[in-house]
Structure 1
Amino acid sequence: MNRLDALFYAAAATTAIAGIIHVVLGYDSGRINTQILFLVGGAAQIFWVIPMVRRWGQVWYGIGLGGTVVFIAIWVITRIPENFITGRGGRISDNGILTEVFQFAFVGIVIAILVLLNRKTA
């Protein structure tokens, strides 16, 4: 297995773990809007294992990267007091931090993949 193979599998693993955590957290949230966001977003992250493992191409990697960045941005914004989404700052939980660690890892790994792929074609 070469370095690029390892990065693709690492990206798949990190997005799968973040997606599973989102599904679990969404299922128990008790608020319908949060449940929908976490279940749909988590399912999308779990689905994103397929484009990463099967190497569907840079457009797919970019879409996954963008979606994950949006998820991170929502988490950061909703932690700010008097934010425009919830009107109050949310608490920072262990599960939230764990999810963000895997999402940041996915972002970094996908950026590395894109850089390496662009070096190969240049």
Structure 2
Amino acid sequence: MSRPGRDDRPDRLYTVTGGRSRSAPDTPFDLVTLVVAECDPVPGMQSEHAAILRLCERPTAVVEVAAVLRLPVSITRILLSDLLAAGRVSARHPRTGLSSGVPDPDILEQVLVGLRNL
């Protein structure tokens, strides 16, 4: 298999997702959801899943994961859903736990750095 995101032909994307075109409706992933790996990749793991786990050692937004892997966000959400169901990642919206309703300046800075790196 080629490196994640290097070949976006429809048949490859179909294979990567096991034929699924949508993630489960109850998955919490929107563009700014922060994803954190809960474990390291294991031998035999799908290459895209392993790449996501390596990338998400620190909280990483879904949109960043998609950009780095060069995959459509819809495909990235499916892969993240697989990892979430297996307990290999955790996800939280960056606004979770904000009492004032104002985004944390540190999170905004991290997003800005991530966007600059794209």
Normalised by the length of structure 1, the TM-score is 0.30
User: TM-score when scaled to structure 2?
Assistant: 0.31
- Structure (1 or 2) with the greater helix fraction: 1
Would you tell me which structure has more strand in proportion to its own residues? 2
